[in-house]
Amino acid sequence: MDTTGITVKWWICIFLSTYLTFNIVDSSINNGVPKKTYIVHVDISAIPATYTDHLDWYSSLVKSVAVSPEGVDEKEEEQRVIYTYQSAFHGMAARLTEEEAERLEGQNGVVGVLPEVRYELHTTRSPVFLGLESQDIMSVWSDKLTDHDVVVGVLDTGIWPESPSFNDTGFTGVPTHWKGACEVGRGFQKHHCNKKIVGARAFYRGYEAATGSINEEKEYKSPRDQDGHGTHTAATAAGSPVHGANLLGYAYGTARGMSPGARIAAYKVCWAGGCFSSDILSAVDKAVADGVNVISISLGGGVSAYHRDSLSIAAFGAMEKGILISCSAGNGGPDPISLTNVSPWITTVGASTMDRDFPGSVKLGSGVMLKGVSLYKGRRNLSPKIMYPLVYTGSNSSSPDPVSLCLEGTLNPHVVAGKIVICDRGISPRVQKGQVVKEAGGIGMILSNTAANGEELVADCHLLPAVAVGEKEGKAIKQYAMRDPHPTGNLAFYGTKLGIKPSPVVAAFSSRGPNFISLEILKPDLVAPGVNILAAWTGSTGPSSLEADKRRVGFNILSGTSMSCPHVSGVAALLKARHPDWSPAAIKSALMTTAYIHDNSHKPLQDSSTGRPSSPYDHGAGHINPVRAVDPGLIYDIGAQDYFEFLCTQGLTRTQLVVFAKFSNRTCQHSLSGPSDLNYPALSAVFPEDKRVSTVTIHRTVTNVGPPTSKYHVVISEFKGVDVKVEPSILSFTKKYQKLSYKVTFTTKTRQPAPESGALIWKDGVHRVRSPVVITWLSPL
């Protein structure tokens, strides 16, 4: 085996161990029997007649399976049920042993018992470049506060209410439909809610059950945001305009949420030790009861199947109540099949760049100058007139090793003191590498991408002068540093640059499709700005999030699908304000069919990881276009029963289906001939392995939300592998809200080894209603 193989194995090993540790949900051990939190879904219609209150029923269900050894604290036994849920779905979160959980699953009325899952925030904890579209978005929407009655619920790390982004000057009273609350706790009082932050709650019972009581000295056991992430996402969705916002002078301008007039309800579900599904579900449940219109969730956990994913189940219940749920797609890209939050009733958002950049450069003693990015701003700037000694502690410029990664405790101060240190990206947080170099006496850092990140750059707010460079530049710098007996270099920083081309570009980290649970539902749905996003920040943590970082800033620059998700949540809030009667599916359809797939140099949208045009598995329907989404012409509507019919095509058992039918006695009407017939605004034709099947037909129905009398004709891409026929090819509407159906027949000419993609567009001369199309031929394994 060659060294590459060994290195790869080593990386995988580290990756897996980090990943596994992260996902194990701790259990508490009482009397030698470990208990964990389980989410118990119940069929409320099965409640025995002997119970008048479902809470009594729940606790008796738990008692009936509980094994309580002699001498166990009775009080503790009573606290086994930590949450009950009733708005988004029916059930509870309970502390059970594995054996008890198994027994509970067999009880009458219990339709699912799912273990607690730990979720992670979808920020890359670092910034890069960005800028353009959102400026346009913002100027169009700027001071039209038509979105006053819409409430965006943000499930995150809480909120920093003092931020000027939550200034409520000019707002009218709290919307009459709002039933939420302002929960008080350390650092958060009633007056911290206002006409902008109309609700704030904290959910920690699942967290405390898993990790022990919150140390209130160290952590605010209240909606107050210590981490910054929740303040950033809430402000991105619905922050009020703040002039002169910037991070240490970078990205100077007006910071404004996508829906500056909408209200915010903060649901704190993430704590220093993680985010737990029982808490997240309780937040969704409360948000539904409180009356939010949009729920924004920049978190993700494992996906296995729709009925095993508690968030998916809760989202279904929220959708039934007319609430749009927008979630981050995950930062697992550019690997394929790396998506989270893929349920069709969720809007799944990937990330793209903007046209703003923060250039920096590295000058080498050899005279070579290489470009990178930086957000460094400090008093200890390097003198531009001096060349400083440079050091790379790795032994091979093309394959990183533990020392070259600048992990904690690996740098020898005798080697690095007074020098600019070259560190490889990976394993430890980027800003932490900077801290390691600084503590070892280094005076600057060059952070080099490896093959895993290619040329996609991430600018961070490092504690010392630092420039991030791409893999190619990094290799050149490392080779110079290893070959030259006395390597020298210097770093330079150029502030903020706008008008970067091309942009947007799909971010390398943005999670990719296909949707492995159902190939017939194309995911992600959309991309939105998620790289180098400037938004409000907490006053309790520095911009690098390192404990050693004593700087305090009002705004921070972050990247991740965590940042793109609230862009879509905010725009959805605007559409909801403009079209209060639209369903969540109608709003999502408007966002998707008006999205664009070109960049600012009029070329096809690119994938940052390859530099080639991106595909619908990378960008879904494309990049959001809020201005056009207000007037989409046609929409693809989907009702709750339609989504349920989709589930009926997914091979779920009756009991598994009941999990989604808890408010109604929904049953399968078998109105869909297959999953691809769900009236989704994207089309995915899947040819089975059986080569005799050469035709796939997909049905769709569009609703006219444009002028009453409109005539649309269809345009569809050409495909190598199939002939496509759309019938009818003209849709003539005579009324507003009229529905017309069409069918698309795909006939295989030659089976293709890789999926083919294109688009189907309905045009009336004014509107372009575009659906991405993907065709897949399954091959025998």
Ligand X SMILES: *[C@@H]1O[C@H](CO)[C@@H](O)[C@H](O)[C@H]1NC(C)=O
396 with 479: CB under 8 angstroms?
A: no
Judged by beta carbon, residue 196 or residue 567, the one nearer ligand X is: 196
562 annotated active-site: yes
| List 398, 410, 583, 745, residue binding ligand X (CB under 6 A) | 398
Burial tier of 545 (Cβ tally within 10 Å: 0-12, 13-18, 19+):
buried
Tokens 């100077």, located at residue? 252
Whether the bond between 524 and the residue before it is cis, its omega within 30 degrees of 0, is: yes
Judged by beta carbon, residue 64 or residue 396, the one nearer ligand X is: 396
156 annotated active-site: yes
CB of 661 to ligand X, least distance (A): 10
Number of residues this chain uses to bind ligand X (CB under 6 A):
11
Structure tokens at 309: 């994913």
CB neighbours of residue 34 within 10 Å? 11
Among residues 43, 149, 156, 607, which one is catalytic? 156
The span of 85-93, 396-404, 692-700, 769-777 binding ligand X (CB under 6 A) equals: 396-404
Sort strands 695-704 and 739-748 into parallel, antiparallel or unpaired. Answer: antiparallel
Tokens 């002939």, located at residue? 723
- By CB under 6 A, tell whether 399 contacts ligand X: yes
Judged by beta carbon, residue 8 or residue 740, the one nearer ligand X is: 8
307 annotated active-site: no
| List 254, 304, 396, 709, residue binding ligand X (CB under 6 A) | 396
CA distance 357 to 355: 7
Judged by beta carbon, residue 21 or residue 169, the one nearer ligand X is: 169
Among residues 277, 296, 562, 614, which one is catalytic? 562
Q: Where are the alpha helices (DSSP H) in 399-549?
A: 413-416, 430-439, 471-483
- By CB under 6 A, tell whether 164 contacts ligand X: yes
CB of 162 to ligand X, least distance (A): 8
- By CB under 6 A, tell whether 21 contacts ligand X: no
Q: Where are the alpha helices (DSSP H) in 653-743?
A: 654-658
CA distance 73 to 59: 16
Q: Which helix (H) or strand (E) segment is 60 a member of?
A: helix 54-65
CB of 664 to ligand X, least distance (A): 5
Contacts (CB under 6 A) with ligand X, residues 636-665: 664-665
CB of 49 to ligand X, least distance (A): 15
* Residue 437 identity: V
CA distance 496 to 612: 26
| Angle, CA 436 vertex, CA 275 and CA 332 arms, to 5° | 40
The span of 164-172, 485-493, 584-592, 692-700 binding ligand X (CB under 6 A) equals: 164-172
CB of 536 to ligand X, least distance (A): 12
CB of 173 to ligand X, least distance (A): 17
Q: Tell me the per-residue interface mask from 582 to 601 with ligand X, x by CB under 6 A, - otherwise.
A: --------------------
Judged by beta carbon, residue 91 or residue 164, the one nearer ligand X is: 164
Q: Give the C-alpha distances (Å, rounded to integers) separating 592 from 103, 133, 623, 646, 702.
A: 44, 16, 8, 20, 14
Structure tokens at 406: 């600048």
Among residues 192, 229, 232, 462, which one is catalytic? 229
SS3 415: helix
Judged by beta carbon, residue 59 or residue 397, the one nearer ligand X is: 397
- By CB under 6 A, tell whether 4 contacts ligand X: yes
Judged by beta carbon, residue 135 or residue 398, the one nearer ligand X is: 398
- By CB under 6 A, tell whether 669 contacts ligand X: no
Tokens 């207000």, located at residue? 630
The span of 162-170, 366-374, 412-420, 506-514 binding ligand X (CB under 6 A) equals: 162-170
CB of 532 to ligand X, least distance (A): 25
- By CB under 6 A, tell whether 732 contacts ligand X: no
| Angle, CA 513 vertex, CA 509 and CA 517 arms, to 5° | 130
Of 167, 141, 235, 271, nearest to 555 by C-alpha is: 235
| List 21, 50, 52, 169, residue binding ligand X (CB under 6 A) | 169
Judged by beta carbon, residue 7 or residue 732, the one nearer ligand X is: 7
Whether the bond between 514 and the residue before it is cis, its omega within 30 degrees of 0, is: yes
Q: Tell me the per-residue interface mask from 253 to 292 with ligand X, x by CB under 6 A, - otherwise.
A: ----------------------------------------
Number of residues written out for the chain:
781
CA distance 262 to 178: 13
- By CB under 6 A, tell whether 30 contacts ligand X: no
Burial tier of 612 (Cβ tally within 10 Å: 0-12, 13-18, 19+):
exposed
CA 295 to chain centre: 12
Judged by beta carbon, residue 7 or residue 428, the one nearer ligand X is: 7
- By CB under 6 A, tell whether 167 contacts ligand X: yes
Active site residues: 156, 229, 562
Under the rule (CB under 6 A), what is the footprint of ligand X? 3-4, 7, 164, 167, 169, 396, 398-399, 664-665
